[in-house]
Structure 1
């Protein structure tokens, strides 16, 4: 198949991934503010969409990590082909849709990297992956970021309740709720500086692999704009299934906790984006919500839900890697294999959407006052 056709196909699938990243991770920015009533659901996703778009233009350091760091470059170019990148994206998109359907806030970042790593190993061998970069800028941040954000949120929540006498003095709870309009917006902005960059890096890597762009260069303007718009549009779709889990099922979040969690998340993500760490926004925000639950005296953290989320975190990268590797094995064999992978991916994606329509979750299910505590897999 002509290289240009494959490159176009990769760009389309990459933007689809960016779109799923938007509605998959909207909960990271806005779930707690919606749960406490600081934002109405539709207002929340609109603001989040706009700020995700703005954030996409503020930094490209994470995009450079993806395009220049994860996959090795040799004298003859990068050790991966556009077909392999396409296969890796298939693994990432399908994992995003599966975890969205079950309402699990898993990492879109690790789904993407898992898909690319699996595709690279099968298509070009283990030496094609820069394991040092994977460990230093992907694995270590994945382990440390939720702990750091959680501890900050725990301390901030404890101080908030202590200084305001359980958030009842002089309307403190209302003040925190107003503060959430700022802190939640910062998380959305931070999300754009980190997550939108990853798709930019994938498209840039594809253009370099196909010799349409010089090695070592960053994303061009049209790539930045396209990725920013895709993640913003996906964000506006809502992602109510995961928003319900983060806002209501991890802990019964009150406005001081929400403010502390969002502020902690925004600070952690913005610093990581500046340093070029391809952070999981999901890990950070979930860690912050757990920390905010522990920081409130006698808070109720729903550990059964937390356990399911942690399991999803652990299996995300290897699961996406397996799918990406299998897709590469099929797609790299022939044009028929490539077409077959595309058809199977489309069928898999449509299956999750059909299943979701049978058990819909709407904006009404995530606003303040929603008390559903069904098991994550059954109620979404």
Structure 2
């Protein structure tokens, strides 16, 4: 499908027969994560709501690459503007979703350093552990860390909204020059804000590792690795330009007059496709494999819901919760005695 208007080249290009093999490969790779997802959900020791975003994203990627495999051998579906707009939206928001999960883990890591030293080893959530009182409790710092993460979350939310609005209009770029320019600007804005937010997250992690004595270096280093996969200029210090966010910013200036063009800048050339699969898609899969493959609930002591409170509970709220929990324990003990 061609146009007289130069419009933003679709990131990843459109699937040609040569895209069939890598599309199937990535669909299989994400499919291999499904048993891991099921295990994380089924196992009480690793089950946490903080993985919902990553699990949903992984399933969506199976759908994405399955569609790309179908498009690879269908000339009509290859130029479908509806499918192209959908793929541009999900490709643009993928790394942002993973980065948001990283901030949730970072929040748990920071908040746990403000809890009393004698807090439970395995609280059902970090918020519940805050009810304990001790000289090691640091409510002011806890509030500061939460607000820092709130700022990061807000930035990712803004990036997500901009990306949705921009890519949702991609199916209109063929016939309207103003829409084409708007889509290009909004896509740049979304990726730029997402990159800035991720770098801000990196700055918080590095600051925490160097200034907060109780921050554990292992989990913090894992977060840095995940951020590197999503936004840093290098991966493990030896693969240049290996970054989902920076890759997008580097290629989105390209324009084309046809979805099926194979000229330089169309993002359909073999070299451009290779860069897409290696520097964009591979990063995301490795990040998700780490997130799902490791027991993050245990590593970050997240509990079931993570640190979900905006502020600490009041004394009255704490007493009410403890009474409710005691009633629940008494009821369970009574049922157990009855069963015996």
Answer with 1 or 2: which has the greater Rg.
2
Q: Same fold (TM over 0.5)?
A: no
TM-score for the superposition, normalised by structure 2: 0.30
TM-score normalised by the chain length of structure 1: 0.28
